[in-house]
Amino acid sequence: MSQSLNSLLIIAMISLILFLVFMRLTQAKKEARLNISKKEQRNKSDYTLEVLTEYISQRMLDITTSNLFAQDLTEEQFKRKKRRRKELKIALKKCNTGDSSSRAYVISYIFDLLVKEKNLDERTVDYAIPFHLPGKMTSEQKFITLLHKLEKKNGFKALGEFITKFELDKPKPDGGYRVLEQEVDEIYKKVMGKGQISTKDKIEIITIMIYSSYKGFGVIDYIREMSIDGVSGGVSGMPEFSQDIFSDEDEEFVDHVKKVGMSSSLESVWVMYKGKKIHFSFLSFKTSSELRRVVTNVYKYGYPGQLSETKPAIINEMADGSRVTVMRPKLAESWAFFIRKKYDAKKVELTEVIKHENNEAPIKLLQLLMKSKRNVAVTGLQGSGKTTLLMALVEYINPALSLRIQETKFELNLRRLYSNRNILSFQETDSFSGQESLDLQKKTDGDVTILGEVATNPVAVWMIQTSQVASLFTLFTHHAKTFAELVFSLRNSLLNEGMFSNEKIAEQQVVSVLQFDVHMRQSEETGERFIERITECIPATFANMDEAQKELINLTDTESKMDFLIKMQSVYYLQQTQTQQFIENTILEFKDGKYITVNPISDKRLKEMMYELNKEDQNELRYLMEEVWGGKNH
C-alpha cells in the first residue's frame, strides 16, 4: 500500500509539473503574440502616408544640407555625392513650376528612398494605402490608382480617356457637370475588380501621393500633368468666412442644405476638358492651409513677385507654357487658381478644328484670307477654340513674312510650332508696358502683328494702331458675342482711352481696319467646337464732299443753291444720326450641323484680295465666289 501511495504521489507531482510547464508555455505564446501584434501596430503607424511624407521631407532636407566634409568620403565619392546633391537641389527647385523632367526626377528619387531606406515592400505597402481592402480606400486613392493604370496605356491622355470612357462629361439632371464619389467607387470596382495590383505599381502610387503633398500641387498635381484644357480650384463651395454667418437655428438655411447639400471651397476642383467645366466633387484640399499652399506655389515660375494683400492677383505662365492666374482674399472671397493648358506640342490642322459637313468652304476661305493679308478677328467665349484656330491659321501666312506677337503672357507659343519662321513674341512686364512694347515692335522688321487677346482698352488701341500703320495685316482674338458687339467694344475702348471724343468718328476708325470676323462657338450639349459664322465688315459709304463742292459752284441761281444746301444739310444730319457706321455682311454660317454659304465677299474687298494673291489663288478665290457662293452649294 505504501508503494501504491508513493506511485500516486509521483504521478501527481509529474502531472503538476507538466501542468505548470503547459501554463508557462501558453503564457509565453500569448506574450509572443501580443509582442508581435504590438510590433505590427508600430510598423503600421510607421507606414502611414502622413508619416512617410514627413520622413521624405526630413530626408530631403538632410540630403541637401548635410556636411559632406564630415562624412569621411574619398575624393571620387565626394564629387559624386556633390554632383547628385546639386542635381537634386535643382530638381526640387523646378519640379513645381511645370517642368515635367524635374518633377519626374524628384518622384524617382522619392521612390528609391521609400524602397531602399524605408523598406517599403509587399508586406508593408498596404499599411500606407489599403489596396487589399478597397472598401477602406478613399475616393482620391481610388482615382489616383485608376489614373495611374490608364497612364500606363494612354500616357498624358489618361484623364481624357477616364472622362470619355465612363461618360463623365455627360450633364447631370440639373445641367451641370460633376464626378461624384459613388461614381468613382463604381468605376474602381468595374476596372480593378479582384485584379491584383503589383507591388511596384502600389509603391509608385504611394510615391505620387507623397510627392503631391510634399512638393506638388496637392490633389490637382496628377491632373495638371494630363492633356486637358485646364484645372481650377477654390471657385465653388461656401467660403471659409461665410460658414460662421449661418447657424443651425437658421431654419431656411438648414432646409436648403438638406435639399441641395453644402460643400466648402476645399471641395472645389474643376477640370476643363474639351471646353466643359467638370466638378471633381470627390476631391478635397482637406484644409484651408493646403489650398493656400497650392495657390502660393502654382504661379512661382520666373519669380513674378509675391502674392499679398497689396498685390492680390497675379497672372503668369508655367514652364510648359500653361497660363496660371491666382488670387487671394480680400480681392476674392477665397484663395483660388486657374490653370489653362493652351500649349499642345502637336501642330493643329484646320481640318481638325473645322470638322462638320461642307467644311471645305470655310477652310478654303480662311486659307485665302491669310494669303491675301486680311485683318481678321477671331471671336467667341472662353474655351470655344479661338486660340487653337488662330494657331492653325498661321500655317497659311506667307513664310517670307515676319510675325510679331503681343500678349499679356506668353500663350500662343508659335515658335514651338513654327520653329523655322521669323517669329518674335512680346509680353508686358512691370517695367515695360504693352504700349512701349508695341512701339518697340515697329523697329523689329515685323510684317504681321498677332494680338493674343484683346481684352482691355489699351490692347484694343494697340490693335487699331497696328492695323493702320505698323503691319501688313493683323490677327487678334476677342470675347465679343456678336459682330456688332465687337465693333462697339473696340469703339468704346478708343473713347475710354481718350483717342477720340466723337463716337461716330471712333466707330469709323474701327470699321476702317476691321475686315473679317470669325466667330467660334462650342455646343453645350456635345462640347464640339465650330465656326458659328464668318462676317465681313463693310464701312458705310457717305456722300463725296468734293463732288458736292463742284456741283455747288456750278449752280448760278439762288433758289437752286438753297435747294442744294438744304439737301446737303439733310445728308449731314443723316450721317450724324446714323446708328451704325458699318454693314454686316454674313458670308458663312453654321446651321443644322453643317456650314452654309450665305453672301459673297463685297466687290471692293474682293478686288483688294485679288491684288495680293498669285494666279493660282486668284482662280481659287474666283471659283469660291462664283461657284460655291454663287448658289450651287448652298
Of residues 524 and 486, more confidently modeled: 486
Q: Are 426 and 405 in contact (CB under 8 A)?
A: yes
Q: Are 454 and 446 in contact (CB under 8 A)?
A: no
Please tell me the distance from the alpha carbon of residue 440 to that of residue 447, in angstroms, as a whole number.
14
- Provide the pLDDT confidence category of residue 632 given band limits of 50, 70 and 90: very low
pLDDT of residue 5: 66
- Torsion over CA: 492, 496, 497, 503 (sign): positive
| Residue 31 cell numbers, joined | 506574450
pLDDT of residue 1: 54
Amino acid at 424: L
- Residue with grid cell 462664283, as numbered in its chain: 626
**Residue 190, Cβ neighbours under 10 Å: how many?**
10
Is residue 330's pLDDT more than 50? yes
Of residues 437 and 232, more confidently modeled: 232
Q: What is the pLDDT of residues 245-257, one digit of tens each?
A: 545 555 554 454 4
Backbone phi, psi, residue 455, to 5°: -120, -10
The closest alpha carbon to 364, from 614, 608, 621, belongs to 621
Angle, to 10 degrees, between the axis of helix 615-623 and the axis of helix 360-371? 140
- Bridge partners of 327, per DSSP, are 313, 336
- Torsion over CA: 177, 179, 181, 185 (sign): positive
Least confident of 32-41, 269-278, 286-295, 372-381: 32-41
Amino acid at 346: K
pLDDT of residue 257: 45
Please tell me the distance from the alpha carbon of residue 338 to that of residue 429, in angstroms, as a whole number.
20
pLDDT of residue 253: 45
The closest alpha carbon to 537, from 518, 554, 562, 517, belongs to 517
Element (H, E) at 377: strand 376-379
DSSP, collapsed to helix, strand or coil, labels residue 471 as coil
pLDDT of residue 260: 46
Is residue 180's pLDDT more than 80? yes
Compute the mean pLDDT over every residue in the chain, rounded to the nearest whole number.
83
| Residue 339 cell numbers, joined | 490653370
Residue range 73-102: mean pLDDT, rounded = 90
- Residue with grid cell 445641367, as numbered in its chain: 175
- In sequence order, the 6+-apart residues with CB closer than 8 A to the CB of 441 are 404, 406, 426, 449, 466, 470
- Provide the pLDDT confidence category of residue 633 given band limits of 50, 70 and 90: very low
Written as one string, the DSSP assignment of 146-210 is HHHHHHHHHGGGHHHHHHHHTTTTSPPTTS--EE-HHHHHHHHHHHHTTPPPPHHHHHHHHHHHH
Name the burial class of residue 532, with classes exposed (0-12), middle (13-18) and buried (19+) by CB atoms within 10 angstroms of its CB.
buried
Is residue 204's pLDDT more than 80? yes
Cα radius of gyration (the chain)? 35
Q: What is the pLDDT of residues 540-559, one digit of tens each?
A: 765 455 555 566 566 667 76
Residue range 82-87: mean pLDDT, rounded = 91
Q: Are 378 and 518 in contact (CB under 8 A)?
A: yes
The CATH superfamily of 350-539+582-632 is P-loop containing nucleotide triphosphate hydrolases (3.40.50.300)
| Residue 243 cell numbers, joined | 460658414
Is residue 85's pLDDT more than 70? yes
Angle, to 10 degrees, between the axis of helix 181-192 and the axis of helix 139-154? 50
Of residues 560 and 98, more confidently modeled: 98
| 306 alpha-carbon distance from chain centroid | 22
Q: What is the pLDDT of residues 158-175, one digit of tens each?
A: 999 999 999 998 888 888
Q: What is the pLDDT of residues 499-542, one digit of tens each?
A: 777 788 888 888 888 899 999 998 877 778 899 999 999 887 65
Please tell me the distance from the alpha carbon of residue 479 to that of residue 473, in angstroms, as a whole number.
20
Name the burial class of residue 464, with classes exposed (0-12), middle (13-18) and buried (19+) by CB atoms within 10 angstroms of its CB.
buried
Written as one string, the DSSP assignment of 445-469 is T-SEEEES---SHHHHHHHHHIIII
CATH of span 134-241+262-340: 3.30.450.90
> Please, where are the H alpha helices in 342-433?
350-353, 360-371, 386-393, 414-417
Percent of the residues in the chain that have a pLDDT greater than 90, as a whole number = 39
- Provide the pLDDT confidence category of residue 461 given band limits of 50, 70 and 90: confident
pTM: 0.73
Q: Are 110 and 57 in contact (CB under 8 A)?
A: no
